[in-house]
Amino acid sequence: MFDYSNIISELRKDGYYRERMPVNSPQDRYVVIKNKKVLNFTSNDYLGLANSNYLKDVFYKKVKKYGVGSGSSPLISGYSSQHKELEQELTQLTKLDSTVVMNSGYLANVGLINALSDKDVVILQDKMNHNSIIEGTRLTKSQLIRFHHKNYSDLSEKIEKVKCGLKIIYVDAVFSMTGEFSDLKKLSSIARENNALLFVDDAHGFGVLKNNSKNFPSSLSMYNRDDINIDAYIGTFGKAVGIFGSFISGNKDIVELVIQKSKPYIYSTALPASLAGTVLESLRYIKNNTSLNKKLNRNIKIFREIAKKENIKLQESETPIQTIIVGEPIRLKKIQESALKAGIFIQAIRYPTVPKNNDLIRISLTSNHSTKDIERLLYFLKTI
């Protein structure tokens, strides 16, 4: 008989055991854990919308009109007018051809590859890609080739050796465990030179990143659109948008193939219409309330400036994701426990989410945090 208990014991001994901590409050600047109110620096709710009174009122009205469940898959009776309107809005925001709404970011990545997979398809991925992209490929007959993190020379060398079949370059726009950007302009160039498609998961950039243009904030808005050529673009609603679900925008034929062939899409109950409708209003709210992004960017700047003055060694990141490498899982877990005692919730990220010996503290900044909140966190980090 297989000894599962021994595997769990080994995880505990090595410092890789994961413990769920129930939150007994809405996601917000403060959350309640173990009957204690703690300052929250773990949430991907970057614009502080998960507990927005405006969106709660919108959701209540949508639930009254559309109910709480969709009752069926999108190809049966689960696809509503709210889904259709949301897809049309996302197509306009991304300036791509077409859009399909999915149930989660993980399913979007798995479902996209599932629809296009074939033994003659070769998918080249950054080694720091999100697990959903990596496992999505491994679940298919397609060949997976991984290139060194943000090493586009390595990508070029590897893609040039692929002589047959469909080639797809698949990357995170913002890497979830480091906050680094992919160079979408460079990747677009490599894709064009090698007759390959470019797929981009912008889970941590959608609704967040913004230059001085009037475009909706996302990694796409950081570039002149003539400089990038993206065939499939994935975004989520559970992070900056503050709700739940995801989408795929892109080439019309690719989106249509997802609808026709993607098993995670075809065989999953659709996102409730009330949620789809609330997401739509959240997108409009973000677009019209530019102060949310300005406050977030100001908080990122303040955090990094104070950290530099205090000699706190951060990894390079211009996004809400800020990390400190610790490298020892047991020590890292003790730091997280000490933070909780001090009334601060930070996340200990360990293998296999990150490579061994790269265990890190992951800090998520939001537009809801105050300067005093940031100073309090950095004071704690300085003491450790």
Per-residue pLDDT of 152-168, as tens digits, reads: 999 999 999 998 889 99
Closest by Cα among 325, 329, 362, 357 to 345: 362
Q: How does residue 212 score in pLDDT terms, banded at 50, 70 and 90?
A: low
**Of 359 and 231, more confident:** 231
Tell me the pTM. 0.94
Q: Compute how many other C-beta atoms are within 10 angstroms of the C-beta atom of residue 230.
A: 24
CATH number corresponding to 55-288: 3.40.640.10
Q: Which residue ranges does the chain devote to CATH 3.40.640.10?
A: 55-288
Q: Is the peptide bond before 352 cis (omega within 30 degrees of 0)?
A: yes
Q: Are strands 197-201 and 321-325 parallel, antiparallel or unpaired?
A: unpaired
Which are the contacts of 187, defined by CB distance < 8 A and separation ≥ 6? Answer: 152, 155, 169, 171, 198
Q: What pLDDT is stored for residue 254 in this prediction?
A: 97
| Residue 79, amino acid | Y
Got the DSSP string for 77-142? II--HHHHHHHHHHHHHHTSSEEEEES-HHHHHHHHHHHH--TTEEEEEETT--HHHHHHHHTSSS
Q: What pLDDT is stored for residue 3 in this prediction?
A: 83
pLDDT > 70: what percent of the chain? 99
Got the DSSP string for 325-384? E---HHHHHHHHHHHHHTTEE-EEE-TTTS-TT--EEEEE--TT--HHHHHHHHHHHHH-
Closest by Cα among 127, 89, 120, 108 to 199: 108
Q: What is the third-level CATH fold of 4-40+290-383?
A: Aspartate Aminotransferase, domain 1 (3.90.1150)
Q: Which residues pair with 249 in a beta bridge?
A: 99, 233
pLDDT in tens, 219-236: 999 999 999 999 999 999
Asked whether 336 and 348 are in contact (CB, 8 A), the reply is yes
Tokens of 79: 């696809």
Q: Rounded to an integer, what distance in angstroms lies between the CA atom of residue 166 and that of residue 120?
A: 6
Average per-residue pLDDT for the chain? 94
Mean pLDDT of all residues in 245-254: 97
Mean pLDDT of all residues in 342-350: 94
Residue 287: pLDDT over 70: yes
Q: How does residue 19 score in pLDDT terms, banded at 50, 70 and 90?
A: confident
Asked whether 168 and 147 are in contact (CB, 8 A), the reply is no
Q: Rounded to an integer, what distance in angstroms lies between the CA atom of residue 230 and that of residue 209?
A: 17
Q: What pLDDT is stored for residue 2 in this prediction?
A: 75
Which are the contacts of 97, defined by CB distance < 8 A and separation ≥ 6? Answer: 91, 249, 250, 251, 252, 255
Residue linked to tokens 């996004």: 319
Residue linked to tokens 């919108």: 58
Q: Which residue ranges does the chain devote to CATH 3.90.1150.10?
A: 4-40+290-383
Least confident span in 196-200, 248-252, 289-293: 289-293
